Amino acid sequence: MATEGETRPLLEASQEIDNEPIAFPNNGVIPPDDDVQGSSFSKNLGTAEAFAIVISVVIGSGIFTSPGSIDTNVPSPGAALVVWLIGGVLAWTGASTMAELGTAIPGEGGVQPYLRYIFGDIFGFLAAWTWIVAVMPATLAILSIVFVESIYSAAGITDQADRIEHKLLSILILVVVSVANSISTRTSTRLNGFFVVTKFTTIAAIVVAGLVVVVIQATDPDRDDVGGRDWFTKPWFGSRPTVNPDGSTTDWDGVSEWELLGHYSTALYGALWAYSGWDKAIYISAELSAPAKQLPLAINSAVPTIVLCFIAANAAYYILLPWNVVSTTDSVAVTAITRLLGRGFGIVAAVLICLVVAGSLLGNSFVAGRMAVAAANQDWLPRLFAQLGRIGVKKQHQTTIGEDENDDSTENVEAPTAASDAPVNAIILSTVLAALYILLGSFRALLTFNGLGEYSFFFLTVLGAIVLRFREPGLRRPYKPFILVPAIFAVVSGFVVIRGAIFAPLLAAVLIVLWGIGGALYWGRKEYARRRVD
């Protein structure tokens, strides 16, 4: 079937694509923002909303749960803070590259329009397929599990994540958030704004508590009944034995350089998980009124703000707690506040953290629905997933035998405009898949699976951005970071994928199987379309 336009994949001289292609040529000219085709949503979001969505998605469970696992794998608190800084810089390099692609290649659906434009249709399809069936459902499942785990931790209950009661409660939280996102885009963004305030309030409370301890102990050095004393008496970059969660101790003086590299890479992986979500602003680029200006501004203001918050919060943890405690807990924030102010305030801290995780869950559910809509608009999913504001499909008037199709009296009648502009069907799809992951998976397995799926395509996308600089130097790029920025991210993301596949071969095999199924569906769909034409 002939298409209305043509894209030129990077690795081939020409390729015919069955779906409607991205509606601009490779001649350095892109259409005005209002002319980007294929979007189901109106352009009613601005820089503030994009900033809030990035903040809401990224500041989730990681800042409150990852510090312990990172501290376990580094020889000093100072090294842990450096890992947090490096993770933030890497997230920023990736986000900046996505901003370059998002302003040069407008479209909805995250990385899939970029991969489709650069490498061809199949890469865009597999990216969309992976995000819809693996990455986003796993993310929603992880956050739902963490939300319920925070409730259990506040009650002093641990090691219950595998019980069916815990899983069912996680699914209930997931459904509640999905319903909230199904009301309307305006409702979602307003709720998101509330959760952003909650996130900043929680982090600010932790940082202020750390500052209070610093003042108290600096003015009265002999006082040891508040916070920890190690920050005051020990060198921040001095190597010290690390107590592991199982009670064993790591003596860093006896660790080889190769083993040390493995520990640092594990710590970096934890930091990258905490920063995950830095790419999510591009998922709403089609809804921004002026994406060429607003997308870079939102990313370059949100990511540095997040990095600053994460480093400040982690420094506060090392002030509030003895250093041999940080590495042994997965709820470091609750542990720190409980130790400083008592169990009652610890419960309050747990409630605030639940709200923070709920905000991240809301933001990711918001994004997951839009990913499915974008795929449905490309006919990669059934069209019902592109439907907005209602469950099911919009009923169309069918012409009966004997009726004149041109008769005004029997003209197709448009369905009433939906009160909601939320992608309800797409949200239901992501909710059902996430519920299955909750029932069948575990937190750590889902974490690794999610990382492998995400960073495989992050690597391809950023690598494509680099090659596109040489393939199409005349492509209009309203935002263009120095080429070293995407190069750094490409190297690190490639390392993360390879390391993850080596250490979790079964999960890597599952992901490859999913890619195989997706490829089979893609080629089967192409063959079906070809036979219909013939």
Question: Smallest Cα–Cα separation from 298: which of 49, 489, 33?
Answer: 49
Comparing 524 with 50, which gets the higher pLDDT?
524
111, part of any domain: yes
CA angle in degrees (0–180, nearest 5) for 238-243-249: 95
Q: Which domain holds residue 428?
A: 43-238+255-392+419-533
pLDDT in tens, 367-387: 788 778 878 887 788 877 777
DSSP string, 15-44: ---SSPPPSS-SSS----GGG--S--S-S-
Crossing angle of helices 77-104 and 291-320, rounded to 10°? 170
Residues 476-499, mean pLDDT to the nearest whole number: 88
397, part of any domain: no
For 516, other C-beta atoms within 10 Å of its C-beta total 10
Positive or negative, the CA dihedral 163, 169, 171, 173 is negative
pLDDT in tens, 94-143: 888 888 888 888 666 678 888 989 999 899 899 989 989 998 899 899 88
The β-bridge partners of 249 are 243
Q: Is the pLDDT of residue 1 over 50?
A: no
Cα–Cα distance measured from residue 284 to residue 102, given in angstroms and rounded to the nearest whole number: 10
289, part of any domain: yes
Cα–Cα distance measured from residue 289 to residue 336, given in angstroms and rounded to the nearest whole number: 43
Cα–Cα distance measured from residue 116 to residue 123, given in angstroms and rounded to the nearest whole number: 6
Q: Is pTM, for the whole model, over 0.85?
A: no
499, part of any domain: yes
Token pair 């199982």 is at which residue? 246
Residues 307-324, mean pLDDT to the nearest whole number: 91
Question: Smallest Cα–Cα separation from 56: which of 150, 177, 173?
Answer: 177
Tell me how far the alpha carbon of residue 123 is from its chain's centroid. 20
pLDDT in tens, 494-506: 888 888 788 788 9
Number of compact structural domains in the chain = 1
Comparing 287 with 52, which gets the higher pLDDT?
52
The CATH number assigned to the domain holding 184 equals 1.20.1740.10
CB 37 within 8 A of CB 23: yes
DSSP-assigned letter for residue 414: P
Residues 239-248, mean pLDDT to the nearest whole number: 78
Cα–Cα distance measured from residue 366 to residue 362, given in angstroms and rounded to the nearest whole number: 6
pLDDT in tens, 384-437: 777 776 676 665 444 444 444 444 444 444 444 445 667 788 888 889 999 999
Positive or negative, the CA dihedral 507, 513, 517, 523 is positive
Helix, strand, coil tally for the chain in percent (to 5)? 70, 0, 30
Note the pLDDT of residue 81.
95
Question: Smallest Cα–Cα separation from 272: which of 135, 146, 85?
Answer: 85
Residues 328-334, mean pLDDT to the nearest whole number: 75
The pair of three-digit structure tokens given for residue 424, joined into one six-digit string:
């309800």
Question: Smallest Cα–Cα separation from 38: which of 88, 86, 135, 105?
Answer: 105
191, part of any domain: yes
Note the pLDDT of residue 22.
39
User: Among 41-50, 74-83, 204-213, 406-415, which stretch is predicted with the lowest mean pLDDT?
Assistant: 406-415
Residues 480-496, mean pLDDT to the nearest whole number: 89
pLDDT in tens, 75-93: 999 999 999 999 999 888 9
